[in-house]
Amino acid sequence: MSTYLTILGFNSAIPTVNSSPTAQFLEMEERHFLIDCGEGTQVQLRKAKARFSKINHIFISHLHGDHCFGLPGLIASFRLLGRETPLHVYGPKGIKKMLETIFRLSETHQGFEVVYHELSSLESELIYEDARIEVHTIPLDHRIYCNGYLFREKPKERHLNMSEISKYKEIEKCDYHNLKLGKDFELSDGYILKNSVLTLDPSASVSYAFCSDTRYLESIIPIIKDVDVLYHESTFLHDLKEMADYTGHSTAIEAAQIAKLANVGKLILGHFSNRYNDRSVFTTEARTVFAASFLPTQLEPVKIGS
Catalytic residue numbers? 66
The answer to whether 233 and 270 have CB atoms below 8 angstroms apart is yes
**Residues 186 to 245 in contact with a second copy, rule: CB under 8 A:** none
Max Cα distance, the chain (Å): 75
Q: Which is nearer to a second copy, 56 or 108 (CB)?
A: 108
Options 54, 97, 167, 177; binder of a second copy; rule CB under 8 A: 97
Decide if residue 284 touches a second copy (CB under 8 A): no
Of 99-107, 152-160, 189-197, 241-249, the window that binds a second copy (rule: CB under 8 A) is: 99-107
Options 29, 32, 43, 245; binder of a second copy; rule CB under 8 A: 43
Cα dihedral: 66, 46, 230, 93 (round 10): 40
In angstroms, give the least distance from the CB of 109 to a second copy: 11
Which are the contacts of 264, defined by CB distance < 8 A and separation ≥ 6? 209, 224, 226, 227, 228, 229, 230, 292
Options 69, 128, 151, 272; binder of a second copy; rule CB under 8 A: 69
Reference 273, options 301, 244, 304, 302; nearest CA is 244
Give the Cα separation of 254 and 240 in Å (integer): 12
Give the Cα separation of 240 and 246 in Å (integer): 10
Options 30, 51, 107, 192; binder of a second copy; rule CB under 8 A: 107
In angstroms, give the least distance from the CB of 20 to a second copy: 8
Give the Cα separation of 42 and 236 in Å (integer): 27
Decide if residue 105 touches a second copy (CB under 8 A): yes
Q: Which residues bind a second copy (CB under 8 A)?
A: 13-17, 39-40, 42-43, 46-47, 63-66, 68-70, 72-73, 76-77, 80-81, 94-95, 97-98, 101-102, 105-108, 143-144
